[in-house]
Amino acid sequence: MEYRADITIVGAGVVGLAIAAGVADGNRRVYVLEKNDSFGLETSSRHSGVIHSGIYYPPGMLKARLCVAGNEMLYQMCSEKNIGCAKLGKLIVATSKGEIGELEELFDRGQRSGAPGLRLVSRRQLQQLEPNVAGEAAIWAAETGIIDSHALMKFFVAGMTGKNAQIAYRTEVVGINKVASGYRVSVRDGEEEFSFITSVLINCAGLGSDRVAGMAGIDIAGAGYRLHYCKGEYFSVGGGKNRLVSRLIFPVPPADVSGVGIHVTLDLDGRMRLGPSIQYVGGLDYSVGEGNRELFYRSVRPFLPFIEQDDLAPEMAGIRPKLQGPGEDIRDFVIAEESDKGLPGFINLIGIESPGLTAAPAIAGYVAGLIRGLV
């Protein structure tokens, strides 16, 4: 007889782990399958580490709703469970009078999306808050912060394993077949291949999530599930310049929200970096182009006049799993139970780019709702 699981989650990134911690109850047989040697080695450790407030996304989108909910949940979790975070607040800075209209539109969208703690500030108020930052006006987002995402993932791992759920590392999902009682999942573990049956299958495979959806027979192009990889590079800032700002400083984003613009982040140790840039790429390449230093310098110079090119050093890169290709309109997260594709109990999470870290605990609650009554 084949081995049976109740709930199987593909991918041990922050989203898969948050879901596992949420659905494990001590009785259900819950498994997380991860192809790497440990959790969170892909996008969940290659990001800005920002707890977003949800200002950027059109009202009603899952991106907006789950970000706003996740923001509050994360701060509560951090304070109750001693996970490192700091509510530094963020300034989105208009660097010319011409950008003030866009800033006001963004403020209005953020208000309508329910982003908490937003306020428009004048040039004078901006200078009082951050004397070394140049700008004509800004949005002050008081509820934006930073988080130790590794500690957050460790907390989810402890939460799930404490309720009898297990993670299998070096275990890659290579096949999915619908059977009468759920799904036969085929996995590769080194040289060995084996399969088991699961009642519910949750695809949180990040950059591989379109491929995993395709394994179950979904036409990923037809369903609009094909991912486009979009690289974001970071440069660290040296020369003691981290002492010149105390909040997160962002530019006015591009109108299509293809990214939030090259911004300043600080980590919990006070280190400063700039990023992420935006570049659609054909594959997984995490190198950082030394030659992009000038692009970074030019992008931030209008609001950070104290930065010199020599302060910047290539640091790291992450890759966004985007549903929209270059120049296309913003797409929402796909979080879908696939009964209407003839695949009941198969849940796809595709295109979980930013604000996926912030939204992770709210995504877990949303997915728990989708599988209620199924197991």
Nearest CA among 256, 245, 21 for reference residue 134: 245
CA distances from 257 to 56, 251, 254, 260 (A): 7, 12, 5, 6
- The stretch near ligand FAD (CB under 6 A) out of 133-141, 285-293, 315-323, 337-345 is 315-323
Find the shortest distance in angstroms from Cβ 216 to ligand FAD: 12
The dihedral region occupied by 260, where left means phi > 0, alpha psi between -120 and 50, and beta the remainder, is alpha
Question: Is there binding between residue 334 and ligand FAD (CB under 6 A)?
Answer: no
Residue 45 or 125 with smaller CB distance to ligand FAD: 45
Q: What is the total count of residues that contact ligand FAD (CB under 6 A)?
A: 41
Of all residues in the shown chain, the one whose CB is closest to ligand FAD is 356
Find the shortest distance in angstroms from Cβ 131 to ligand FAD: 25
**Unique residue bearing structure tokens 């979790």:** 77
Question: Is there binding between residue 153 and ligand FAD (CB under 6 A)?
Answer: no
* From 9, 66, 69, 212, residue interacting with ligand FAD (rule: CB under 6 A): 212
Question: Is there binding between residue 113 and ligand FAD (CB under 6 A)?
Answer: no
Nearest CA among 175, 206, 219, 205 for reference residue 338: 219
Question: Is there binding between residue 50 and ligand FAD (CB under 6 A)?
Answer: yes
Q: Tell me, what DSSP letter sits at residue 61?
A: -
C-beta separation of 113 from 105 below 8 A: no
* From 94, 137, 204, 213, residue interacting with ligand FAD (rule: CB under 6 A): 204
Residue 130 or 172 with smaller CB distance to ligand FAD: 172
Nearest CA among 7, 356, 359, 361 for reference residue 163: 7
Find the shortest distance in angstroms from Cβ 33 to ligand FAD: 5
* From 5, 15, 92, 272, residue interacting with ligand FAD (rule: CB under 6 A): 15
Question: Is there binding between residue 33 and ligand FAD (CB under 6 A)?
Answer: yes
Q: Using DSSP, state whether 95 is helix, strand or coil.
A: coil
- The stretch near ligand FAD (CB under 6 A) out of 287-295, 296-304, 316-324, 337-345 is 316-324
Residue 43 or 95 with smaller CB distance to ligand FAD: 43
Question: Is there binding between residue 228 and ligand FAD (CB under 6 A)?
Answer: no
Question: Is there binding between residue 166 and ligand FAD (CB under 6 A)?
Answer: no
CA dihedral 61, 366, 86, 55 (to 10 degrees): 10
Q: How far out from the chain centre does Cα 193 lie?
A: 31
At position 141, the amino acid (one-letter code) is: A
Taking the C-alpha atoms of residue 313 and residue 236, their distance in angstroms, rounded to an integer, is 5
C-beta separation of 6 from 199 below 8 A: yes
Site for ligand FAD in 237-266 (CB under 6 A): none
Q: Is the peptide bond before 276 cis (omega within 30 degrees of 0)?
A: yes
**Unique residue bearing structure tokens 């989108």:** 61
- The stretch near ligand FAD (CB under 6 A) out of 27-35, 116-124, 237-245, 246-254 is 27-35
Residue 24: count of CB within 10 angstroms of its CB: 23
**Sign of the C-alpha dihedral computed for residues 179, 180, 183 and 185 taken in this order:** negative
Find the shortest distance in angstroms from Cβ 290 to ligand FAD: 18
Question: Is there binding between residue 48 and ligand FAD (CB under 6 A)?
Answer: yes
Question: Is there binding between residue 36 and ligand FAD (CB under 6 A)?
Answer: yes
- The stretch near ligand FAD (CB under 6 A) out of 79-87, 119-127, 134-142, 351-359 is 351-359
Question: Is there binding between residue 143 and ligand FAD (CB under 6 A)?
Answer: no
Q: How far out from the chain centre does Cα 352 lie?
A: 6
Q: Tell me, what DSSP letter sits at residue 172?
A: E
* From 6, 29, 52, 135, residue interacting with ligand FAD (rule: CB under 6 A): 52
**Binding footprint of ligand FAD on the chain (CB under 6 A):** 10-16, 33-36, 41-44, 46-50, 52, 172-173, 204-208, 212, 232, 276, 318-320, 352-358
